[in-house]
Structure 1
Amino acid sequence: MIFHQIATERGCQSYFLACEETCMAVVIDPEETLLDRYLGLAAQEGVRLHYVLDTHTHADHFSGGKELAQRLRIPLIMHRNSPAPFVDMRVDDGEKINLGKLSLNLIHTPGHTADSLCVLVKDRVFTGDTLLIGGCGRSDLPTGDADQLFDSLFNKLLLLDPATRVYPAHIYSDRDYSTLAEEAEHNPRLQLKQRDDFVQQMRTLTLREPDHLSEALRTNLTGGKTVEQLIAEAAHSVSFMSLEEVLRRTNTDDPEIILLDVREREEFAAGHIAGAIHIPRGQLELRVNQALQDPTLRIVVYCEYGRISTLATATLRDMGFTRAVAMDQGLQLWREKNYPLTEK
C-alpha cells in the first residue's frame, strides 16, 4: 500500500492511499488548500485518483472534496446521512469500497456528527473526528449525540484489533498516529466506560466553538461557492417584508408569522426580536427540520444587514418552506429605528 499523511499548520490531517498493484488511489478528508499537493502525489507515485472520501461534514475546516472530485470527475464518497447535496456515492455501515487489491471497510460511527464514518484499511483505521489521539470528537455541534458517540467508540471502534493504528482527521501533538490499545488505556475520554458517566462527561465539557463554524459548514454543504455568489443568486428567488410590516405583525402577535434569526450565537444573545427562533445560517440545513417541522409556516428570516437572511430564505424555499420571506434591510436598521429588542 502506498500511504501519505498530509497535515496543515492547524493540525488537520488528510490521507493519500493507493494500491501498488493496480495504481488506484483515494484521498481521505481532503483540505481545500492542498488540492495541488494530492495531484502532485498522484503524479509522483504514478497512480490515478479514483475516489475522494470525507469522513463527515466538517465544521472546523474547509473540505476540498467537491472541488477535487469535480476536477478529476471521480466520485465523492460520504455516509448516506450527509446533508451535502453534491455527494456522488452514499454509503452505509458494513459496506466496503474496493480500491484495487485494497478494501476500504466503512464503519458508521455517529456521535460527533450523524454522518460520521471511520474507514478500516488493513492495519489502520481513519477515524475522522470520532476518535482523536488523547480525545474524541465533541458531541455538542449540529447533529452531535453523546449517546451515539458512546456506542461508536465502545461498541464499534474499540472492538477492533487493539493493535490497529489510529489516524484521525486532527492531531494536536507531534504524534503521527496512535493505536486502539493506547487510546483504550490512556485516552481520558475513554476511561469512563459506563454509558451514563461518558454521556455526562461529554455534556458538561466547556468547549469554544470552532473558528469559522458557520462559514465552514456552509461552504462544506454547498461545495465551495462564495457568500457573494450565493447571495446574488438568492436575491432573484425570494420576496421581502419591510421592517415596518414585521413590526406591525409582531405587535399584533400574528400567529402566521415565525421569526427566524440566522446570526451567530453571540449576536443573538446581545439582542434579538422577541419570540424569534435562532438557527445560525451555517447550521440551517442541519437543524431546520427539527426546529421548523411544518413546511406551510410563514417564516420571516432576518440577520444583521439583510444579506445572509436573503441567502437563508432561498435555502428554506429550496427545502420546501415556500412561504419563507426575508426581512428587508436587517437588524442594524431595525436598531437605528429604535424598534424593540430583547435579550431573553
Structure 2
Amino acid sequence: MIKKIMSNNYTTNSYFILKGQESVLVDPVGDIAYFRDLLQENHAELKGIIYTHGHYDHIASANELYKEFGCNIYIHEDDMQMLLKPKLNLSGFFGSSFVFEGTEKLVGIKDGESLTVGQLSFKIIHTPGHTPGCICIIYDKAIFTGDTLFKGSIGRTDFPGGSFDVIKKSLGKLKTMNPDFIFHPGHGESGTIGDEVATNPYFE
C-alpha cells in the first residue's frame, strides 16, 4: 500500500508505504499526531524515514519524528549537511532555523544502493540538479521523484547547489525507466514515467 499525504503548510507530498505490519515514510512533513494515528490504524511499526532531499519543506518535521519514533533516517550523503545547516536547507525562508538533532540515527545513502528497511526494499537513484543529493526511490513499480520530476515540470534549479544542466542529465536517467512506472512527486499529482517522457517539455 502507498498512501499520499499532503501537508497544508508546505504543499509537500509525504508518502506512507506499508508492507505487512511494517512501514516506511518518504518525505514526511506535517502533524506528527497524524502519522502516529496512521500507524496505529494500520497496526504498523515505522521502520525508517527516507528523504528525497534536504530542503526544509520536506524535512521540517524531522526532529519531532525522530523523538517520536527513533527510527533511522536516510538521505543521500551529498545532502546530509542540509539537515544540519539552516543556510543550506533554506529554513530561513520559512521563518525558522532548522538543525536536525538526531545525528546518531542519520544514515547516508548512495546512488545505485539497494536499501532494505525492515521488509521493504528500495533502489536509490541519485538525481542531482534541484539539490546536490536529490534522489529518486524505486519501490516495486513506483518511483518517488521528490523535487526532481513533477507532472509537466521539474524542480527549481536556482537554489544553492542547484543546476539546470545537472538536472537535465538526471532526467536522462528517468527516461530509461519502465514507462509504466507510476511516479510520485514531492509536489502535485502523480503520473506515469511514459506520459512524462512523451509530454513533459523538459525531456526534449
* TM-score (normalised: structure 1): 0.50
Q: Deviations over 1:276-328 (max 9, x none)?
A: xxxxxxxxxxxxxxxxxxxxxxxxxxxxxxxxxxxxxxxxxxxxxxxxxxxxx
The structural deviation recorded for 1:25 is 1.0
Aligned residues: 182
The code of the aligned residue for 1:111 comes to G
Can you give the 5+ residue segments of structure 1 that lack an aligned partner in the other structure? 192-344
Confirm or deny: 8 A CA contact 1:55 1:118 kept in the other structure. yes
The structural deviation recorded for 1:148 is 1.5
Superposed, 1:124-273 pairs within 5 Å as 124-154=142-172, 156-171=173-188, 175=189, 177-191=190-204
The structural deviation recorded for 1:70 is 2.9
Confirm or deny: 8 A CA contact 2:28 2:58 kept in the other structure. no
Counterpart residue number, 2:25: 27
1:37 aligns with 2:55: no
1:112 aligns with 2:130: yes
Counterpart residue number, 2:6: 7
Confirm or deny: 8 A CA contact 1:165 1:178 kept in the other structure. yes
Confirm or deny: 8 A CA contact 1:52 1:65 kept in the other structure. no
SS at match of 2:157: coil
Counterpart residue number, 2:111: 93
Distance 2:137 2:147 in 1: 12
Confirm or deny: 8 A CA contact 1:54 1:65 kept in the other structure. no
More strand by share: 2
Distance 1:6 1:179, change over 3 A: same
Confirm or deny: 8 A CA contact 2:2 2:16 kept in the other structure. yes
Can you give the 5+ residue segments of structure 2 that lack an aligned partner in the other structure? 85-102
Confirm or deny: 8 A CA contact 1:129 1:170 kept in the other structure. yes
Confirm or deny: 8 A CA contact 1:18 1:99 kept in the other structure. no
Distance 2:152 2:119 in 1: 32
Distance 1:45 1:126 in 2: 22
- Over the aligned positions, Cα root-mean-square deviation in angstroms equals 1.6
Distance 1:67 1:96, change over 3 A: farther
- The answer to which structure, 1 or 2, has the higher relative contact order (CA under 8 A, 6+ apart) is 2
The code of the aligned residue for 2:140 comes to K
Confirm or deny: 8 A CA contact 1:27 1:38 kept in the other structure. no
The structural deviation recorded for 1:11 is 2.9
Confirm or deny: 8 A CA contact 2:124 2:135 kept in the other structure. yes
Confirm or deny: 8 A CA contact 2:26 2:51 kept in the other structure. yes
* TM-score (normalised: structure 2): 0.83
Q: Aligned residues: percent identity?
A: 30
Of the candidates 46, 65, 77, which is equivalent to residue 68 of structure 1?
65
Confirm or deny: 8 A CA contact 2:51 2:58 kept in the other structure. no
Distance 1:91 1:167 in 2: 20
The structural deviation recorded for 1:58 is 1.3
Confirm or deny: 8 A CA contact 2:132 2:161 kept in the other structure. yes
Counterpart residue number, 2:89: none
The code of the aligned residue for 2:136 comes to C
Distance 1:59 1:72 in 2: 20
Q: Deviations over 1:9-40 (max 9, x none)?
A: 353100001211xx221111011x32211111
Distance 1:13 1:188 in 2: 23
